[in-house]
């Protein structure tokens, strides 16, 4: 396996990927840590290049047997060079360049999925990353992100997802009202989540459902909320005004899956 020294011009191009503008232009993004890189390499996402500091060069050996190993370029970076491309406070010295996977909504419409999560203008990258990890844990396959949602390849999203982004089908920049109309035609029920809805503990989710979560501070847009077939919530026993979006998503998914297990 050939490991090249990275050129200054190449380093500058990779460092630009810290900015959304360049991720959009190149349709690529950077991932960091050995764990996340491993998850990407085991998936059907295309890893183009791998960047390693001298202390991490031995890691390259374990990728020798990958079916696409011959197509991946390996580069050695000094610690200072790695810091220029890293978004981590304490860089791990392991990173990869990944092509963004374009998910076609038409493929979702043709799939056999019965529970789809949709997010209306989710804005916090840490929340989204944690939600992706949680959805992966509970066996959810498809996530829909509306227009104006945080970019799924934001470094904080990748970091918080701990590699779960590579296990999911993620559909972003979606016109949510239009998408929900299409799903309703396929006999899906549209279920919204708010702080004032039917108690999730006493609610049975329809067999085919799109579960919608809203923006962290504003909730679900009124035009979407008015189109929901049902509104559900987590009962409050204290005085807190609301729950963190990632936590409420986790609780609702747990309750849905718990009911499936005890049937």
Domain count, the chain: 2
50: domain CATH number is 3.30.1330.30
Q: Which domain holds residue 57?
A: 3-99
The model's confidence at residue 65, banded by pLDDT at 50, 70 and 90, is: confident
User: What is the Cα gyration radius of the chain?
Assistant: 20
Residue 263 has pLDDT above 70, yes or no: no
169: domain CATH number is 3.40.1280.10
Residue 225 has pLDDT above 70, yes or no: yes
Q: Are residues 248 and 152 in the same domain?
A: yes
* Residue 67: per-residue pLDDT: 57
The model's confidence at residue 68, banded by pLDDT at 50, 70 and 90, is: low
Q: Are residues 167 and 207 in the same domain?
A: yes
* Residue 159: per-residue pLDDT: 95
Q: Are residues 76 and 139 in the same domain?
A: no
Least trusted range by pLDDT, from 60-69, 78-87, 94-103, 209-218: 60-69
Q: In the chain, what percentage of residues exceed pLDDT 70?
A: 98
Q: Are residues 67 and 160 in the same domain?
A: no
Tell me the per-residue pLDDT of 10-25, one tens digit each, with 9 for 90 and over. 999 999 999 999 999 9
**Dihedral sign, Cα of residue 197, residue 200, residue 201, residue 203:** positive
Q: In the chain, what percentage of residues exceed pLDDT 90?
A: 87
CA distances from 87 to 17, 47, 157 (A): 10, 18, 12
Q: Are residues 34 and 146 in the same domain?
A: no
pLDDT (average), residues 51-69: 84
Tokens of 236: 């409050």
CA 120 to chain centre: 14
Residue 167 has pLDDT above 90, yes or no: yes
Distance CA 93, CA 113 (A): 38
Residue 219 has pLDDT above 60, yes or no: yes
Q: Are residues 138 and 236 in the same domain?
A: yes
Q: What are phi and psi of 127, to 5 degrees?
A: -60, -50
Q: Are residues 33 and 150 in the same domain?
A: no
Tell me the per-residue pLDDT of 170-199, one tens digit each, with 9 for 90 and over. 999 999 999 999 999 999 999 999 999 999
pLDDT (average), residues 37-41: 95
Give a three-class secondary structure readout of the chain.
CCEEECCHHHHHHHHHHHCHHHHHHHCEEEEECHHHHHHHHHCCCCEEEEEEEHHHHHHHHHHCCCCCHHHCEEEEECHHHHHHHCCCCCCCCEEEEEECCCCCHHHHHCCCCCEEEEECCCCCHHHHHHHHHHHHHCCCCEEEEECCCCCCCCHHHHHHHCCHHHHCEEEEEECHHHHHHHHHHCCCEEEEEEEEEEEHHHCCCCCCEEEEECECCCECCHHHHCCCCEEEECCCCCCCCCCCHHHHHHHHHHHHHHHHHHC
The model's confidence at residue 132, banded by pLDDT at 50, 70 and 90, is: very high
Q: Are residues 25 and 65 in the same domain?
A: yes
Distance CA 244, CA 233 (A): 13
Least trusted range by pLDDT, from 31-40, 108-117, 210-219: 108-117
Q: Are residues 133 and 253 in the same domain?
A: yes
Q: Are residues 218 and 180 in the same domain?
A: yes
Nearest-CA neighbor of 263 among 209, 207, 186?
207
Residue 228 has pLDDT above 60, yes or no: yes
Q: Are residues 133 and 248 in the same domain?
A: yes
Q: Are residues 218 and 169 in the same domain?
A: yes
Distance CA 120, CA 176 (A): 7
Q: Is residue 56 a contact partner of residue 75, using CB atoms and an 8 Å limit?
A: no
Task: Report the chain's mean pLDDT, rounded to a whole number.
Answer: 94
């Amino acid at each position: 396996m050939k490991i090249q020294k990275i050129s200054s011009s190449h380093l500058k191009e990779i460092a630009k990927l810290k900015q959304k503008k360049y991720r959009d232009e190149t349709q690529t993004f950077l991932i960091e840590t050995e764990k996340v890189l491993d998850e990407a390499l085991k998936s059907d996402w295309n890893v183009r290049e791998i960047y390693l500091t001298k202390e991490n060069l031995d890691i390259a050996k374990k990728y020798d047997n990958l079916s696409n190993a011959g197509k991946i370029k390996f580069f050695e970076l000094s610690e200072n060079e790695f810091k220029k491309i890293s978004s981590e406070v304490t860089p791990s010295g392991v990173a990869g360049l990944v092509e963004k996977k374009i998910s076609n909504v038409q493929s979702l419409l043709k799939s056999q999925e019965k529970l789809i999560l949709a997010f209306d203008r989710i804005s916090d990258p840490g929340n989204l990353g944690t939600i992706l990890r949680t959805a992966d844990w509970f066996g959810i396959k498809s996530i829909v992100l509306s227009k104006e949602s945080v970019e799924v390849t934001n470094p904080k999203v990748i970091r918080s997802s701990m590699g779960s982004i590579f296990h999911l089908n993620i559909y972003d920049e979606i016109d949510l009202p239009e998408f929900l109309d299409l799903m309703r035609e396929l006999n899906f029920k549209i279920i919204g989540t708010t702080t004032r809805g039917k108690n999730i503990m006493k609610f049975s989710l329809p067999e085919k459902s799109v579960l919608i979560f809203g923006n962290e501070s504003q909730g679900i847009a009124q035009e979407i909320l008015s189109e929901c077939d049902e509104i559900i919530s987590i009962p409050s026993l204290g005085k807190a005004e609301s729950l963190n979006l990632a936590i409420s998503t986790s609780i609702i998914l747990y309750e849905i899956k718990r009911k499936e297990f005890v049937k």
